[in-house]
C-alpha cells in the first residue's frame, strides 16, 4: 500500500498519486513551534517590556518554552519516512527550501533560550551547588554535580555580576522575540510558499501563523500555570508534599491572569482579523480555484472551520474574556477553547489544504487512524499526536527538577 | 641525459597533444553535447489502452497492485450539457474498457466529445520540487531531467506537496519520493523511455530540443503545442498536441 492510502478517501476526479501525505503530525508541527514562540513572547513581555505583574508567569513560560522547544522537532521526526536521515538536513541543507532553514533557526533559537534560562537561574545554580557541596547521599551528590555543571564555574554572585546577568537576560529576551517570530513565521512560509496549493499560497500565511502562535503560546502557558499553581495549593491544603515546587501555597494570582488575558485577546483579534481578511479576499477576487475552495470552506469543512475554529475557538473565548468579572474557572474554560481554536486553525490549513484535488474537480477526505494497525498508523494517528502533545509536559517535569518553575 | 628544461617542454607538448586529441575525439563522436530532452504527447492518437502505464510499472519497479504510478492516462468525457466527467482509475493501468467514467454509464447520445490524455512528469525547467527539497535529494540533471536520490531522500513529502501536477508519490518499498524520470537509465543507454516504446499508436514521443534535425523537436517548434498549467511558471518540457481547455 502506498503511503497515505490507509487514511485517504478520494472522491470524484483526483490524480492517481494524490493522497493526504501531510497528516496529523504536520498539524502538530506548526502547533508546537507556535507554542514555543508564544511562550517565549509571553516571558519577554516581562523581561523586555518590564510588565512587573507577569514576573512569575515569565519565569514559568520561559522554562516551558524550552520544554516545548525540545518537543518541536518530534512531529517532524514522526512524520519523516526516513527519520534516521533527518540529520541530512544539517549535512546538505538546500537553502532554497523553507524546511532546510529549520536546523539553523531551531538551534539559534534553542541557544538563545538556553542562555536566557542560564542567566535567569544562575543564582539558583550557584547557591544550590554551594549548598550541596560535600553533602551526603548519592542523590545529593548527583544533584550537586549537576548544579556545579550548570553553573559553568561562574560563582560570582556580587551585585555587579547579578546586574550583568539582568542586562544579558533583557538583551537575550529582546533578541529572542524576532527569532521566535522567525521560527514560527517560517513554519507559515513552508505552507504559504507552496504555489501548487490554492488554499495555502498567500503571503499572509506567515503573519497569520505568528499571530495565532502567540495566542496559543500565551493560552497554554496560562492554562498550565493555573493548573500547576492550583494543584499545588490543592495538595498543600491536604497536608501533602507540594507538587512541582517548594515553599508555601498561594492561589493563582487573578491579577496576572487578567493582565495576560488582555494580551491574549489583543493577539487573538489580530489573528482572526488576518484570517478573515484572507477569506474575504479569496472570495472577492474569486480566481480559478475559488469554485472548489468555496465548496471546501463553506460546505465540506464548514463544521471544523466555522463552528469549531471561529465559533468555539475564537468567538466564544472572546466573549468569555471580554465580559467583566473574569473568574478562574471561566478563564480556564476560555483558554481550553482558545487552544482548541488554534489546533483547529492548524488542522483546517494543513488538512483543509489537501482536501481538494489538484484537478480542482475532486476531493480527498482524511480519515485519521484511531486504533493503530501498525507503526505507520500509530505515528500518523490519534495516539501519535497525543504522544507529541504529552512530550512537552514530560520535558517540563524533568526541567522542573532542576529549575523549580514556580518560586515564591 | 635529458635536461630538466627539455623534460618540461616535452611533457607540456605531450599533455597538450593528448588533451587536444581527446577533445577532438569527443567532439567528433557527439558525446560531449548535452541533450535537452523534451516529450510530446499527441492526445488524438491515445486510445486509453494503458500499455504505457503497465510498461512503466514493469520497467521502473513500481508494484503492479499499488495505487500509484509514474505515468497515467486520464479520460475526459464532455457531455452535451457541458458537464465534464473525468477519471483515471488505477492510473489506467488496465486500460479503459467500459464507457463508465467515475463509475457512471454515460449514453453515447449524451456525449459531445471524449478523449484520453497521457500524463507524466513535465521535467520542468523551473521545478518546484527541486526548489523545496530540504536536503537536495531531488535535483536536475544537465540534460534537464529531474531525478531523485533514493539514498538521500528523507521522506518529508515537501516535493509531493510542491508539484502542481501531482506526479510524485512515496515508493511503497523504498519509502522515498518517486516520480517519472523519462526512464533516465534507458535514455543514458541510448534507448527510449518504456512508455514511448510501449505505445502502439505513437501518442508518446521523446526528442532532443538541442538537435536541429530531431523530428519530435521539430514538431514542437513548428506546430501549435501547449504545456500544462503554465500559470505556475514551472516551464514544463512535456508538450501536448490537440489540447483541450477541460484538461486538468
| CB contact at 8 A, B109 and B123 | no
Based on its alpha-carbon atoms, the radius of gyration of chain A, rounded to whole angstroms, reads 23
DSSP secondary structure code for residue A315 in this structure: I
* Residue B207 within a domain: yes
Element at A322 (helix H, strand E)? helix A316-322
* Residue B142 within a domain: no
- Indicate the residue of B133, B154, B170 with minimum beta-carbon distance to A3: B170
Question: What is the percentage of chain B residues whose pLDDT exceeds 90?
Answer: 85
B154 and A80: CB-CB below 8 Å? Answer: yes
Chain A residue nearest residue B77, CA to CA: A13
- Indicate the residue of A81, A89, A190 with minimum beta-carbon distance to B170: A81
CA angle B135, A206, A79 (to 5 degrees): 40
Please provide the average confidence, as pLDDT, over all residues in chain A.
89
Q: A interface mutation test: which of B154, B159, B165, B177 has the most A CBs within 10 A? A: B154
Do B120 and B6 fall within a single domain?
no
* Residue B229 within a domain: yes
A13 touches chain B (CB under 8 A): yes
Query: What is d(CA A89, CA B179) in angstroms, rounded to the nearest whole number?
Result: 21
Element at A333 (helix H, strand E)? helix A328-350
Interval B207-226 mean pLDDT: 96
A303, exposed or middle or buried, with CB in 10 Å at 0-12, 13-18, 19+?
A: exposed
* Residue B89 within a domain: yes
Tell me the sheet residues that pair with A13. Answer: A361
Tell me the sheet residues that pair with A168. Answer: none
Show residues of chain A in contact with B165, CB under 8 Å: 15, 358
Show residues of chain B in contact with A359, CB under 8 Å: 86, 166, 248
| CB contact at 8 A, B176 and B150 | yes
Handedness of CA A25, A26, A27, A29 (dihedral sign): positive
B64 touches chain A (CB under 8 A): no
Helical spans, DSSP H, in B71-214: 128-132, 158-162, 184-188, 194-198
Question: Of A61, A24, A68, which Cα lies nearest the Cα of A43?
Answer: A61
Question: Of A181, A172, A189, which Cα lies nearest the Cα of A213?
Answer: A181
Q: Domain A5-402: what homologous superfamily?
A: Formate dehydrogenase/DMSO reductase domain (1.20.1630.10)
**CB under 8 Å to B157, separation ≥6 — which residues?**
A21, A22, A79, A81, B170, B177
A398 pLDDT more than 60: yes
* Residue B162 within a domain: no
| CB contact at 8 A, A260 and A39 | no
Residue B173 confidence (pLDDT): 95
Pick the range with the lowest mean pLDDT from A51-55, A62-66, A339-343.
Answer: A51-55
Helical axes A254-285 vs A24-47, angle rounded to 10°: 130
Instruction: Provide ipTM, 2 decimals.
Output: 0.89
Residues A280-329 pLDDT 10s: 999 999 999 999 999 999 999 999 999 999 999 999 999 999 998 888 88
**CB under 8 Å to B218, separation ≥6 — which residues?**
none
Interval A28-55 mean pLDDT: 85
Residue B31 confidence (pLDDT): 56
A192 touches chain B (CB under 8 A): no
Helical axes A55-71 vs A101-131, angle rounded to 10°: 130
**CB under 8 Å to B217, separation ≥6 — which residues?**
B38, B207, B208, B209, B210, B211
Show residues of chain A in contact with B119, CB under 8 Å: 15
Do B15 and B46 fall within a single domain?
no
Interval B146-150 mean pLDDT: 97
Residue B27's pLDDT band (cuts 50, 70, 90): low
A120 touches chain B (CB under 8 A): no
In a 3-state reduction of DSSP, which class is residue A67? Answer: helix
Give the C-alpha distances (Å, rounded to integers) separating A192 from A186, A187, A197. 9, 9, 9
Question: Of B157, B102, B122, which Cα lies nearest the Cα of A363?
Answer: B102
Do B3 and B113 fall within a single domain?
no
Match 516551558 to its residue by C-alpha cell.
Answer: A64
| CB contact at 8 A, A182 and A304 | no
Residue B19's pLDDT band (cuts 50, 70, 90): confident
Residue A406 confidence (pLDDT): 73
* Residue B144 within a domain: no
A388, exposed or middle or buried, with CB in 10 Å at 0-12, 13-18, 19+?
A: buried
Question: Of B140, B158, B148, B118, which Cα lies nearest the Cα of B234?
Answer: B140
Do B23 and B93 fall within a single domain?
no
B166, exposed or middle or buried, with CB in 10 Å at 0-12, 13-18, 19+?
A: buried
Residue window 164-223, chain B: list those with CB within 8 Å of chain A. Answer: 164-170, 172, 175-176
Residue B29 confidence (pLDDT): 55
Residue B114 φ then ψ, to 5°: -150, 145
CA angle A283, A287, A293 (to 5 degrees): 60
A240 pLDDT more than 80: no
Show residues of chain A in contact with B86, CB under 8 Å: 13, 359, 361
Residue A245 confidence (pLDDT): 47
Query: What is d(CA A97, CA A320) in angstroms, rounded to the nearest whole number?
Result: 41
User: Between A and B, how many CB-CB pairs are < 8 A?
Assistant: 140
Q: How many domains does chain B have?
A: 2
Give the C-alpha distances (Å, rounded to integers) separating A113 from A152, A181, A383, A393. 16, 13, 29, 17
What is the tally of helices (H) and strands (E) in chain B? 7, 10
* Residue B175 within a domain: no
Residue A249's pLDDT band (cuts 50, 70, 90): very low
Question: Of B145, B93, B99, which Cα lies nearest the Cα of B118?
Answer: B93
- Indicate the residue of B66, B119, B155 with minimum beta-carbon distance to A2: B66
Show residues of chain A in contact with B82, CB under 8 Å: none
CATH of the domain at B113: 3.30.70.20
A194 touches chain B (CB under 8 A): yes
Residue B91 confidence (pLDDT): 95
Question: Of A231, A238, A360, A230, which Cα lies nearest the Cα of A292?
Answer: A360
* Residue B203 within a domain: yes
Do B27 and B45 fall within a single domain?
no
Element at B174 (helix H, strand E)? none
Question: Best-predicted range by mean pLDDT among A46-50, A390-394, B96-100?
Answer: A390-394
**For residues B51 and A213, which has the higher predicted lDDT (pLDDT)?**
B51
A12 touches chain B (CB under 8 A): yes
Range of the domain at B11: 1-32
Residue A3 confidence (pLDDT): 93
Give the C-alpha distances (Å, rounded to integers) separating A70 from A150, A359, B4. 18, 39, 66
Mode of pairing for the β-strands spanning B37-42 and B238-241: parallel
| CB contact at 8 A, A11 and A371 | no
Query: What is d(CA B33, CA B31) in angstroms, rounded to the nearest whole number?
Result: 5
DSSP secondary structure code for residue B226 in this structure: B
Do B225 and B117 fall within a single domain?
yes
Residue A242 confidence (pLDDT): 53
B50 touches chain A (CB under 8 A): no
Show residues of chain A in contact with B175, CB under 8 Å: 3, 81-82
A96 touches chain B (CB under 8 A): yes
Tell me the sheet residues that pair with B41. Answer: B204, B240
- Indicate the residue of B161, B167, B169 with minimum beta-carbon distance to A197: B161
B67 and A79: CB-CB below 8 Å? Answer: no
Match 521539430 to its residue by C-alpha cell.
Answer: B218
Residues A107-137 pLDDT 10s: 899 999 999 999 999 999 999 999 988 888 8
Residue A47 confidence (pLDDT): 82
Query: What is d(CA A126, CA A144) in angstroms, rounded to the nearest whole number?
Result: 10
Q: B interface mutation test: which of A196, A358, A364 has the most B CBs within 10 A? A: A196
**CB under 8 Å to B18, separation ≥6 — which residues?**
none
Query: What is d(CA A117, CA A119) in angstroms, rounded to the nearest whole number?
Result: 6
Amino acid at each position: 500500500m502506498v503511503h497515505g492510502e490507509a487514511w485517504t478517501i478520494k472522491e470524484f476526479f483526483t490524480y492517481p498519486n494524490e493522497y493526504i501525505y501531510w497528516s496529523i503530525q504536520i498539524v502538530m508541527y506548526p502547533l508546537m513551534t507556535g507554542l514555543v514562540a508564544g511562550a517565549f513572547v509571553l516571558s519577554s513581555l516581562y523581561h523586555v517590556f518590564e510588565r512587573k505583574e507577569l514576573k512569575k508567569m515569565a519565569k514559568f513560560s520561559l522554562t516551558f518554552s524550552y520544554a516545548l522547544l525540545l518537543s518541536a522537532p518530534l512531529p517532524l521526526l514522526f512524520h519523516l519516512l526516513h527519520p534516521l536521515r533527518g540529520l541530512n538536513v544539517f549535512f546538505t541543507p538546500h537553502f532554497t527550501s523553507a524546511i532546510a532553514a529549520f536546523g539553523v533557526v531551531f538551534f539559534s533559537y534553542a541557544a538563545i533560550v538556553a542562555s536566557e534560562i542560564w542567566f535567569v537561574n544562575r543564582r539558583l545554580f550557584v547557591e544550590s551547588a554551594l549548598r550541596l557541596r560535600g553533602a551526603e547521599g548519592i542523590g545529593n551528590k548527583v544533584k550537586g554535580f549537576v548544579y556545579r555543571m550548570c553553573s559553568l564555574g561562574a560563582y560570582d554572585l556580587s551585585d555587579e555580576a547579578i546586574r550583568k546577568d539582568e542586562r544579558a537576560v533583557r538583551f537575550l529576551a529582546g533578541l529572542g522575540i524576532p527569532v521566535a517570530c522567525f521560527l514560527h513565521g517560517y513554519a507559515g512560509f513552508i505552507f504559504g510558499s507552496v504555489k501548487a496549493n490554492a488554499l495555502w499560497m498567500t503571503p499572509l500565511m506567515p503573519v497569520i501563523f505568528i499571530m495565532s502562535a502567540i495566542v496559543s503560546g500565551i493560552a497554554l502557558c496560562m492554562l498550565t500555570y493555573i493548573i500547576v499553581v492550583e494543584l499545588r495549593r490543592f495538595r498543600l491544603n491536604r497536608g501533602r508534599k507540594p507538587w512541582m515546587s517548594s515553599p508555601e501555597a498561594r492561589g493563582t494570582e487573578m491579577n496576572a491572569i487578567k493582565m495576560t488575558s488582555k494580551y491574549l485577546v489583543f493577539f487573538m483579534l489580530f489573528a482572526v482579523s488576518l484570517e478573515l481578511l484572507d477569506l474575504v479576499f479569496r472570495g472577492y477576487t474569486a480566481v480559478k480555484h475559488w469554485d472548489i475552495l468555496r465548496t471546501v470552506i463553506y460546505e465540506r469543512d464548514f463544521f471544523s472551520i466555522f463552528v469549531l475554529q471561529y465559533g468555539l475557538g475564537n468567538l466564544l473565548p472572546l466573549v468569555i474574556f471580554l465580559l467583566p468579572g473574569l473568574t478562574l474557572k471561566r478563564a480556564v474554560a476560555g483558554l481550553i477553547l482558545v487552544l482548541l481554536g488554534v489546533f483547529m486553525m492548524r488542522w483546517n490549513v494543513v488538512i483543509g489544504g489537501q482536501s481538494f484535488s489538484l484537478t480542482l474537480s475532486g476531493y480527498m477526505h482524511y480519515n485519521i487512524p484511531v486504533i493503530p494497525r501498525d507503526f505507520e498508523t500509530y505515528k500518523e494517528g490519534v495516539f501519535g499526536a497525543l504522544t507529541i502533545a504529552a512530550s512537552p509536559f514530560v520535558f517540563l517535569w524533568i526541567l522542573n527538577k532542576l529549575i523549580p518553575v514556580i518560586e515564591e | 641525459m635529458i635536461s630538466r628544461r627539455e623534460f618540461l617542454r616535452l611533457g607540456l607538448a605531450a599533455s597538450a597533444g593528448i588533451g587536444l586529441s581527446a577533445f577532438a575525439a569527443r567532439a567528433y563522436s557527439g558525446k560531449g553535447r548535452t541533450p535537452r530532452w523534451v516529450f510530446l504527447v499527441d492526445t488524438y492518437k491515445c486510445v486509453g489502452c494503458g500499455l504505457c502505464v503497465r510498461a512503466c510499472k514493469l520497467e521502473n519497479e513500481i508494484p503492479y497492485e499499488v495505487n500509484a504510478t509514474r505515468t497515467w492516462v486520464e479520460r475526459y468525457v464532455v457531455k452535451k450539457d457541458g458537464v465534464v466527467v473525468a477519471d483515471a482509475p488505477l492510473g489506467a493501468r488496465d486500460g479503459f474498457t467500459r464507457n463508465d467514467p467515475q463509475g457512471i454509464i454515460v449514453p453515447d447520445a449524451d456525449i459531445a466529445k471524449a478523449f484520453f490524455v497521457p500524463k507524466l512528469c513535465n521535467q520542468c525547467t523551473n521545478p518546484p520540487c527541486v526548489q523545496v527539497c530540504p536536503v537536495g535529494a531531488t535535483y536536475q540533471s544537465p540534460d534537464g531531467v529531474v531525478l531523485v536520490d533514493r539514498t538521500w531522500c528523507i521522506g518529508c513529502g515537501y516535493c509531493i506537496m510542491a508539484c502542481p501536477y501531482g506526479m510524485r508519490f512515496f515508493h511503497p518499498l523504498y519509502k522515498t519520493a518517486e516520480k517519472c524520470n523519462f526512464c533516465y537509465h534507458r535514455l543514458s543507454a541510448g534507448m527510449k523511455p518504456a512508455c514511448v516504446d510501449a505505445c502502439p499508436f505513437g501518442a508518446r514521443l521523446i526528442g532532443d530540443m538541442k538537435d536541429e534535425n530531431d523530428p519530435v523537436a521539430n514538431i514542437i517548434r513548428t506546430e501549435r503545442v501547449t504545456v500544462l498549467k503554465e500559470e505556475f511558471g514551472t516551464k514544463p518540457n512535456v508538450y501536448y498536441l490537440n489540447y483541450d481547455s477541460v484538461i486538468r
